[in-house]
Structure 1
Amino acid sequence: MDLLSLIIISLILCSSANGVEIDEEATILYKIEPLPNSYAHLGEGPHWDIETQSLYYVDIDAGKILRYDYQQNKVYHSKIKGIALASFIVPIEGQSGKFVVGSGRSVIVVSWDGVSETSKVDRVLFSVLPGEKYVVYRFNDGKADPRGRLFAGTMRYEGDVLNDRSSALYKYEKGGKVTVVKTDVGISNGLAWNEQTKKMYYIDTSDCNVKEYDYDFDAGVPSNPKVVLNLCNSNPQDNLWPDGLTIDSKGNLYVAINNGHAIYKVNPSTGIVLLEIKFPTKQITSAAWGGPNLDILYVTTSASPDLPAQAGSTYKVTGLGARGLPMSKVQL
C-alpha cells in the first residue's frame, strides 16, 4: 500500500526485529502527506508557533531556516547570511521576527520576516568551547523548556561521530547565564518536558535510548536519569538510533528513528511502543505537534548523504487521535 494514502494499522501484539515490544492498543487510522516544497537536505529542529500558525524548522548543512504557513499551505525558505550551519530554530518570547538558531559552536539571534529568501544575524547569544580552534563540534538539537530556558547540545560532525563522548548539553537562562547540564554526551538530540509529572526527556543518540529525568521546573535542573526506551541490540549493527522527540497531552512520547523509517509512540511508564508510524523514507529526524488544534504531527526527515526522492521532505500526519502541548519560546 502507498504510504501516502490512508494507512490502516490493525490490532497487533508483537516484537520487532531488534526486540522492541510493540503493543498497538487499538486500530489506528492515520494519513501521511508531504508538505509542498518542503525539501531540506538535512531537515531538523521543528517548532510550531501558535501565534503565527507556522512550523519553523531548519536545513542544517545549507544554513537555512524554513517556515510552513498553515493557512497558505506554503513553505518559505531563507538562507541566513554568512552562516554555514543552522541546527535548530526557536522563536524569542515577545520579539516578533526574532529567533535563536544553533550555528556551529554558537547560538545566534536571527531576524527574519518569515517570507524573505535571506535572513540576517543580529548577534551571537553565546558560544561554547571558545579558543578551541580545531574542534569539529556543532550544536545539534535545541528547545526551550516551559519556563523559557534554552537547552541545546552539541555533537562531533567529523570523524568517529557515534563513539565520541566529548560533547555536552547546555542551558541558557534569561539574563545570559549559560551552564553545562550534562557531559559525556555523544550526539545530543531530542528534548521534551511534562509539567504534570515533573519529568524531562532527553535523547543522546549514541546511547540508542531515551532517558527520563526528574525535573525541577523552578530551578531548571534535571536529576535521577533512567532509561524508558532501549533501542540497543546485542549486535550493534542492528541498533536503532533515536533522534528528535516530542510529547502529547497524555504524556506519550513520539521518538523519531533516524535509521528506521518510523516514529515510535511510546508510553514512558511502561517502555512499550504503542504505535509505529511508518514513513516512505529512512531517516526520520524529529517531530512537533501543530495545526489549530495541535493534532497534526509534523515530521522532518533527512536526505543525507544522497537518499532517493521523498527523503528530505517534511510530512504531516493526521488522524492519530492525539494532541500535543504548546511549545515554548526562549526568554532572553
Structure 2
Amino acid sequence: MSFKVEAVASPKTIISTRCHWDEQMQSVYYNDVEGVIYRYDYKENKVYSATVDGESAIGFVIPIANPKKPGETDEFAVAFGRRVAVVRWDGVSPIAVIESTAFEVEQGKEKNLFNAAKADPTGRFYGGTMRSIEVEDIFIENKLLPEGALYKYAKEGGISELVNNVIISNGLAWNEKEKKLFHIDSGKFYVKEYAWDPATGDISNERLVRDFSLNGKMPGYLPDGLTIDTDGNLYVTAFMGSKIFKVEPKSGKILFEIPIPAEKVTAVAFGGPNLDILYVTTGGKDDSANKNAGCLFQVTGLGAKGFPGVRVRI
C-alpha cells in the first residue's frame, strides 16, 4: 500500500484535537485545548480560527444539529471544564460567543474536565471526563487516577453515566450496522467495545478489543483518538507515539501503522468529498523544533473510506 502523509496549511497549535468532518460545510472542525476553535475549509484549503469569550481551555467542539438550518451551521457544542455550552460562530470571524450552558456534570469534582466527545449516528451526545493533568505528568502512574466517566446526554433524558472509574476518557466510534460502540480509556491503554442500542443509547456487553500496554505498563504512548472506516476497521492515534494504528476490532490485530511526523498524535476523522482522506490533529507542545508538530495533517491513498461526522442534538 502506498499512502501519503502531509501537513495541511494550518496553524501550529499547542495541542489540537477533536477532529470532526462536517459534510455540509465540507470542513474539518477541531480545537486547541489552549482555547481556540478551528475550521479547515476543504475547498479554500484554508484554516479559520476563533477564541471563545476569553475562555482559556477547550475540551472539544462539535457542530450542533439545527432542523431550521440543515446546511450551514453557526452553532457548536463546546466544552469548558465540566460544562458543555452552546457557542455561536460563523466559521470565519476571530471571536465566537457563548450563547448558553447546555448541561454540566460532576459538580463537586472541581479538578475534572470534559475531554473527548462525539455524537452517535442518531445525533445523541456522548462525552467523557478525566481529572485534569499536565502533559508531562501522564507517564507518572500515580498521577493517573480513575476519577472520570463516560456519559450520554439527550434533551428528553438528561445526563446518564455509562462507564465509571475512567482515567482518561478519549476516542469514540460507532459501527452502526453491527450496533457497536468503541471507547478508549487512554489511562488504561485500551480500546473496548460495547453493544449499543440506537433507540436508547444504552450500552452493554463490554469486550476488550485491544490492550496497548506492555505487561500492564505504559507502552511509551497513550491510545488517544479513534475513528472507523466503512469496513469496520478502527484507526487509533498514539499520543507521544508519532503514529496511527489500523486495528481489526474482532481480533484486536494491528493491520498496519501510519507514521505521522509529530510526536503528539491526537484525533482522526475521515473526510473530503469522497470521505477517503484521513485528517489528523497533532500537538506542538514541547516540540518546537518540528515545524509541523501541532499542524493538521491529511493521509491519502489508504484505500479506505469513512463516515462524515454527525451533528449533535443538544
**TM-score class, shorter:** over 0.9
Q: Where do residues 1-332 of structure 1 align in structure 2 (5 Å cutoff)?
A: 28-61=1-34, 63-94=35-66, 95=69, 96-132=73-109, 135-158=110-133, 163-175=144-156, 177-234=158-215, 236-309=217-290, 310-332=292-314
Q: Which has the larger displacement, 49-58 or 224-233?
A: 224-233
How far residue 143 of structure 1 moved from its aligned partner, in angstroms, is: 0.2
Amino acid at match of 2:42: Y
SS at match of 1:65: strand
TM-score, normalization by structure 1: 0.87
SS at match of 2:187: helix
Question: Which consecutive unaligned segments of at least 5 residues does structure 1 have?
Answer: 1-27
- Offset from partner CA, 1:115-172 (integer Å, 9 cap, x none): 001101001111112255xx21111000000111111111112376652011111111
Amino acid at match of 2:63: P
How far residue 240 of structure 1 moved from its aligned partner, in angstroms, is: 3.6
TM-aligned CA distance change 1:176 to 1:77, over 3 Å:
farther
Report the Cα distance in structure 2 between the residues aligned to 1:259 and 1:37, rounded to whole angstroms: 21
Matched-pair contact (CA < 8 Å) for 1:233–1:239? no
TM-aligned CA distance change 1:235 to 1:249, over 3 Å:
closer
Matched-pair contact (CA < 8 Å) for 1:232–1:240? no
- Offset from partner CA, 1:223-259 (integer Å, 9 cap, x none): 1111111111027253541001000011000000112
Amino acid at match of 2:153: Y
Report the Cα distance in structure 2 between the residues aligned to 1:206 and 1:297, rounded to whole angstroms: 25
Amino acid at match of 2:155: K
How far residue 262 of structure 1 moved from its aligned partner, in angstroms, is: 0.5
Question: Which consecutive unaligned segments of at least 5 residues does structure 2 have?
Answer: none
TM-aligned CA distance change 1:196 to 1:235, over 3 Å:
closer
Matched-pair contact (CA < 8 Å) for 1:86–1:101? yes
Aligned-residue CA RMSD in angstroms? 1.5
Report the Cα distance in structure 1 between the residues aligned to 2:221 and 2:293, rounded to whole angstroms: 18
Identity, in percent, stands at 43
How far residue 198 of structure 1 moved from its aligned partner, in angstroms, is: 1.1
Amino acid at match of 2:60: F
Report the Cα distance in structure 2 between the residues aligned to 1:217 and 1:122, rounded to whole angstroms: 29
Amino acid at match of 2:308: P
- Offset from partner CA, 1:170-191 (integer Å, 9 cap, x none): 1111346111111101000000
TM-aligned CA distance change 1:313 to 1:202, over 3 Å:
same
Report the Cα distance in structure 2 between the residues aligned to 1:67 and 1:319, rounded to whole angstroms: 23
SS at match of 1:236: coil
Matched-pair contact (CA < 8 Å) for 2:189–2:218? no
Report the Cα distance in structure 2 between the residues aligned to 1:302 and 1:139, rounded to whole angstroms: 18
Matched-pair contact (CA < 8 Å) for 1:145–1:328? yes
Report the Cα distance in structure 1 between the residues aligned to 2:76 and 2:23, rounded to whole angstroms: 15
How far residue 304 of structure 1 moved from its aligned partner, in angstroms, is: 2.3
Matched-pair contact (CA < 8 Å) for 1:149–1:174? no
TM-score, normalization by structure 2: 0.92
TM-aligned CA distance change 1:70 to 1:183, over 3 Å:
same
Report the Cα distance in structure 2 between the residues aligned to 1:44 and 1:37, rounded to whole angstroms: 13
Matched-pair contact (CA < 8 Å) for 1:256–1:263? yes
How far residue 263 of structure 1 moved from its aligned partner, in angstroms, is: 0.4
SS at match of 1:206: helix
Report the Cα distance in structure 2 between the residues aligned to 1:143 and 1:235, rounded to whole angstroms: 28
